[in-house]
Amino acid sequence: MAKYKTETTPRFRVFSFLAQALAEGVFRPGEFIRIADVARDLGLSGTPVREALCRLAGARLVEDRQREGFCLVRLTRDEVAAAYDLEAHVYNRIIDGLEAEQLPDVPTSPGRDSTGVGPPIAFQILQQMTANALLRAQAIDLGARLAPYRRHETDVIADARADTLRLDQAVTIGDWQGVRIALKQYVDRRVAAAHRLQDAGSR
């Protein structure tokens, strides 16, 4: 049985909390994120909150305006398309490693809500399976960067959920060639719709 990696540090808890909040549209482009409020909500000090925000700033999801604080960045259409392309590259490299290791087991897939909104479950599984911490961090950062736009995929892409389910199924059965094909289809359709995703995610 392969050992799947998880991270439970306070900084990662904050990062996950903020990424989820951004995905749900809690913060809008240009809106400042108050460190004291997030720390209070999570029962933590301000240090891990600031560290998580710095990580999000490194992923260009939030902007550090020095004395003013951190605010949500509005990506351009080209940046949205480039982030999807880069995400595909990162997951293909993760798959390269999994194929080389010939891992026999895939972790149980978590459930998906009925709306089908959000990243493919396949991405969470691949993050758990990879032993490459750098690729895992890149995948998580890209997911956070795309979250405000990804939540609109079902609004602007016809049958977007079918792309996600195809990718999820291929990962669940460990069909790596099928994963690559499904990943390309998934990303190509979102790159083609980047202008509409950017418009929806920036409102």
- Tracing tokens 């909040």 back to the chain, one arrives at 21
What whole-number percentage of the chain has pLDDT above 70? Answer: 88
Q: What angle do CA 42, 28, 112 make, to 5 degrees?
A: 65
Question: Quick count: other Cβ atoms within 10 Å of Cβ 74?
Answer: 15
d(CA 139, CA 144): 9
The pTM for the full model equals 0.78
Output the pLDDT for position 108: 55
pLDDT tens, position by position, 45-62: 999 999 888 888 877 778
Give the pLDDT mean for 156-165: 94
Output the pLDDT for position 114: 43
Q: What is the DSSP string of 7-68?
A: ---HHHHHHHHHHHHHHTTSS-TTPEEPHHHHHHHHT--HHHHHHHHHHHHHTTSEEE-GGG
* Stronger pLDDT, 20 or 159, i.e. the higher one: 159
* Stronger pLDDT, 11 or 168, i.e. the higher one: 168
Does residue 189 register a pLDDT over 50? Answer: yes
d(CA 56, CA 141): 7
* Stronger pLDDT, 66 or 7, i.e. the higher one: 66
Return all residues near 41 (Cβ < 8 A) that are at least 6 apart: 17
Give the pLDDT mean for 88-115: 73
- Structure tokens given for 93: 């490299």
| Edge-to-edge strand ranges of the sheet holding 62-64 | 32-33, 70-72, 62-64
Torsion of CA 34, 35, 37, 42, to 10 degrees: 140
pLDDT tens, position by position, 102-137: 655 565 555 554 455 678 999 999 999 999 999 998
Give the pLDDT mean for 68-89: 90
d(CA 96, CA 130): 10
